[in-house]
Amino acid sequence: MASWATRGAAILAAGVTFFALSGCVISGAQAPSSESSTATAPAPLDTATPDRVAPVVVVAGLDVDGENVTVSGYVAGIVESGGVCNFVLTGPRSDRTVSGAGYADSSSTSCGALQVKRTDLSGGKWNVVLQYTAVDGTVSSSAPRAMELP
């Protein structure tokens, strides 16, 4: 029995190795030259540049328990701590702003997650905008993100 188990393990290992190496490049193969290639690099997902600070609303919605509305976001194009993140919620009958500090992370400024009591907001369609005030006083705003509350 041990010999069949050993043979089975060897066959399995060979199969795994074959499939793992099937995506490797064969030694000596040449990549196409940049002169003959007409393909262009894909556009980056993040459109922020060092000159352009771009706040982004990531989450805007009612929590599962229905008690709170959570908003969160980040600011691309700037890495700093000490700025102010203002989430402006514009609704059918009122506006509400919830604020928090911005914190530097590895490649952007995080605004974390902030909450508003559900009972403080009326039902209906809302827009959420992240307005970020940088340490130097510069204010940048995100595109609005739609949210609907029952």
% of residues, the chain, pLDDT over 70: 66
The answer to whether 60 and 142 are in contact (CB under 8 A) is: no
Distance (Å, whole) CA 150 – CA 141: 27
Helices (H) and strands (E) in the chain, counts: 1, 9
The answer to whether 124 and 148 are in contact (CB under 8 A) is: yes
Nearest to 15 by CA among 25, 3, 7: 7
pLDDT tens, position by position, 75-93: 999 999 999 999 999 999 9
Residue of higher predicted confidence among 42 and 65: 65
Distance (Å, whole) CA 65 – CA 123: 16
Question: The pTM is what?
Answer: 0.67
